[in-house]
């Protein structure tokens, strides 16, 4: 699963400009730039994919068929973590960060969720670190139900051993203490069985995924000079080793074999 991070548009624009400049100075080779730009894609909150052209210095949105220039600057963008170079946090929020002492275990867990989500939305941590920070933030009822608030909405979900069901935050008196030896949590084993089933879900342990599966469209709307081949039929740019235009299908001069 690709680790994603929220990135500011200005950071992406500056990075694209830097790629173009370093190519012109001979610090990057054309093949490396093409490979880099193929990964230079981001996604907004609505699930639309975007990229930024290093030559035209403008944003493109993918319409499901092809890249189209946009007059607007997108916000709330997620992209592969390698596009970011910020320091990250790897520890749970401290009690001081969480404010006044929580009255219930559910309230305390909800505060942790809020802090972690704020860190993700601000770009301070990536999606893998969210999983690391929240994977043990659960409440367990005496009947074996595992409870967790949804990462984005804060709504409570209970895991019954098979699936997540929307519900209400569990009452304090119904909870199992998770202190000490797990074998003491529940004598008849229902709790341990449900926990085992929950852990077997792998990356799908949260009722609300941190982010949707990453599946960006292929291709890139423009390539810096020295990395592209212009189609004689439609005039649009293609990778320099392409045999046929990816836009209109015409044969390209000097394309790869």
β-strands 156-159, 164-167 pairing: antiparallel
What is the C-alpha separation between 154 and 147, in angstroms, rounded? 12
User: What residues does each domain of the chain span?
Assistant: 4-86, 105-124+136-199, 227-257
The pLDDT score that the predictor gives to residue 84 is 59
**CB of 53 within 8 A of CB of 68?**
no
Q: What is the Cβ-side half-sphere exposure of residue 204, based on CA atoms within 13 angstroms? A: 8
The pLDDT score that the predictor gives to residue 153 is 94
What is the C-alpha separation between 129 and 160, in angstroms, rounded? 26
pLDDT in tens, the chain (257 residues): 678 889 888 888 888 888 888 877 888 777 777 777 777 899 998 999 999 988 888 999 999 988 999 999 998 899 987 665 544 444 555 555 555 565 788 888 898 899 999 999 888 888 988 988 888 788 888 888 889 999 999 999 998 888 899 999 998 888 876 554 555 555 456 666 777 777 777 667 889 999 888 999 988 887 766 556 667 787 776 666 667 777 788 887 655 44
What is the C-alpha separation between 251 and 87, in angstroms, rounded? 47
The pLDDT score that the predictor gives to residue 90 is 46
What is the C-alpha separation between 195 and 141, in angstroms, rounded? 11
Phi, psi of 244 (to 5 degrees): -130, 150
Cα distances (angstroms) measured from residue 15 to each of 18, 21, 110, 204: 5, 10, 36, 33
């Amino acid at each position: 699963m690709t680790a994603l991070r929220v990135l500011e548009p200005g950071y992406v624009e500056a990075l694209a400009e830097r790629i173009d400049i370093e190519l012109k100075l001979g610090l990057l080779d054309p093949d490396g730039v093409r490979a880099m730009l193929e990964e230079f894609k981001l996604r907004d909150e609505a699930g639309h994919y975007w990229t930024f052209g290093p030559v035209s210095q403008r944003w493109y949105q993918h319409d499901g068929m092809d890249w189209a220039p946009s007059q607007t600057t997108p916000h709330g963008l997620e992209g592969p973590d390698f596009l970011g170079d910020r320091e990250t946090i790897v520890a749970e929020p401290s009690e001081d960060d969480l404010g006044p002492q929580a009255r219930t275990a559910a309230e305390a867990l909800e505060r942790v969720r809020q802090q972690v989500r704020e860190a993700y939305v601000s770009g301070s941590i990536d999606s893998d670190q969210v999983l690391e920070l929240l994977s043990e933030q659960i409440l367990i009822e005496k009947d074996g139900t595992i409870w967790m608030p949804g990462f984005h909405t804060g709504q409570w979900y209970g895991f019954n051993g098979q699936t997540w069901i929307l519900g209400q935050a569990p009452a304090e008196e119904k909870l199992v203490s998770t202190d000490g030896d797990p074998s003491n949590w529940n004598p008849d084993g229902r709790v341990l069985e449900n926990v085992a089933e929950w852990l077997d879900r792998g990356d799908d342990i949260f009722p609300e995924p941190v982010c949707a599966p990453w599946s960006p469209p292929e291709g890139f709307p423009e390539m810096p000079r020295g990395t592209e081949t212009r189609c004689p039929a439609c005039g649009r740019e293609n990778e320099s080793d392409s045999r046929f235009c990816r836009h209109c299908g015409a044969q390209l001069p000097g394309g790869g074999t």
